[in-house]
Structure 1
Amino acid sequence: MANREALRELQVRLAGRLQAARVEGLSVSSWLAVEAAGQSYLLPLAQSGEIFPWVAVQPVPYTQAWFLGVANLRGGLVGVVDLAGLLGSPVQRTEQMLAESSLLALNTALDVNAALLVDRLAGLRGTEAFVASENPAEEAPAFYGTVYIDAAGVRWQELNLQILSQHPAFLSISA
């Protein structure tokens, strides 16, 4: 229950910061920062949807290990994808780990009923939060964007959710 309250508080704070930035004419953050399997990712706010606490997921047989199943989010069935597993870093998750994780629904404009399981929400980020950037590696998937590096040396991989949602690996859930 405390996790749900903390998530609601985070959502209220994020919404308040975005609204204040719009009213004051400040630059609005571009990304939602998340962590999955010890990796740091930046997800474009325009492509991200609502954030949910972990809910029970109904497994679907004969699917990829990273496709956790379907969940009922606000009355709609949504496919739940383990972001870490999809990106090649599968994690054995305990009930405690799942209880502390979040589901990030993809924006409805992407026309995909899916949510990403992430281990931790790290807040909003804009370009001013980083001291350097690099192009993605040549062999990186098409949905990998720029790699941003913050003052602490943490590397944040930008993920284009629109391209990800249309990528053959994402669309091929059958095992």
Structure 2
Amino acid sequence: MSGGESRLDPAARRTRLREYQEQLLERMQAAKGGGGAPIQQLGMQVGGTRYLLDLLEAGEIVSPVPLARVPLTQPWYLGLANVRGTLVGVIDLARYLGEEGQPASGPSARLVTFAPTLGFNCALLADRVYGLRQAAGMQREGEVLRDADDQLWTPLSLAALVREERFLHVAQQPDGRS
């Protein structure tokens, strides 16, 4: 950050960050639409699985913040987080998919918010975010992709996730069922 930028008030910094993200999104969309341009995805790990997210579906990546628990919700709905002034529901994807274990924690844990274009104020709690990955250069093996380092990656569509009926109903049934 330059000296002048560090003196900007928080609202001005958020505005500049939003403008930068919009420009980045426009460039990514232009590259994606370009003839044969390689498509990069965001790599993250949840539980024991590595996932690839479409960059156009992912929003911000932030360190976990304190959560406000919400009573009578599904075990995979961890609560609400204030991410830069926006309340987002935080999801433990591993639990949502039926895996047991504790939600991510530690210095490498991150919240990956959904892109505003999805119209869903939500974030996934990730054990780790690996950054950009080149899916086009990976070998397809059924439902997963294998990279040059022999790591398996599972494509995950956040747009498809927000259309899942079960994902949209975070409240527990009155009898306590999921």
Q: TM-score, normalised by structure 1?
A: 0.73
1:171 is matched with: 168
Task: Report the 3-state secondary structure (helix = DSSP H, G, I; strand = E; otherwise coil) of the residue aligned with 1:61.
Answer: coil
Unaligned runs of 5+ in 2: 1-20, 173-178
Counterpart for residue 101 of structure 1: 109
Distance in 2 (CA, whole Å) between partners of 1:93 and 1:49 is 20
> 1:166 is paired with a residue of what secondary structure?
coil
Residues 92-132 of structure 1 deviation map (CA, whole Å, 9 limit, x = unaligned):
248xx2453100110011010101100001111123441x1
Deviation per CA, 1:71-108, whole angstroms, max 9, x where unpaired? 111111110001211122232248xx245310011001
CA distance in 1 between counterparts of 2:117 and 2:67 reads 23
Calculate the aligned-residue CA RMSD, in Å: 2.5
Aligned to 1:69, the other structure's residue is in SS state strand
Deviations, residues 21-52 of structure 1 (Å, cap 9, x unaligned): x6xx9945421000011211001101000111
Picking from 39, 50, 64, the partner of 2:74 is: 64
- Cα distance in 2, alignment partners of residues 50 and 28 from structure 1: 22
Quick check: 1:39 aligned with 2:49? yes
Give the unaligned 5+ runs of structure 1.
1-14, 137-146
Please tell me whether residue 134 in structure 1 is matched to residue 144 in structure 2: no
**Deviation of residue 135 (structure 1)?**
3.7
Which contiguous aligned blocks of 4+ residues in structure 1 show a shift greater than 6 angstroms?
none
**Percent identity at matched positions?**
38
Report the residue type matching 2:169 in the other structure: S
Q: Give the letter for the 1:107 counterpart.
A: A
Residue 52 of structure 1 pairs with residue 57 of structure 2: no
Cα distance in 1 between the residues matched to 2:39 and 2:90:
26
Counterpart of 1:7 in structure 2 is: none
1:158 pairs with 2:138: no
- Contact 1:79–1:114 (Cα < 8 Å) also in 2: yes
The count of residues paired between Structure 1 and Structure 2 equals 144
For residues 89 and 155 of structure 1, what CA distance do their matches in structure 2 show?
18
CA contact (8 A) 2:42 2:52 kept: yes
**Partner-residue secondary structure (3-state), 1:84:** helix
Which structure: larger Rg? 2
Q: In the alignment, which of 122, 125, 131 is matched to residue 123 of structure 1?
A: 131
- Deviation of 1:56 after TM superposition, in Å, equals 0.2
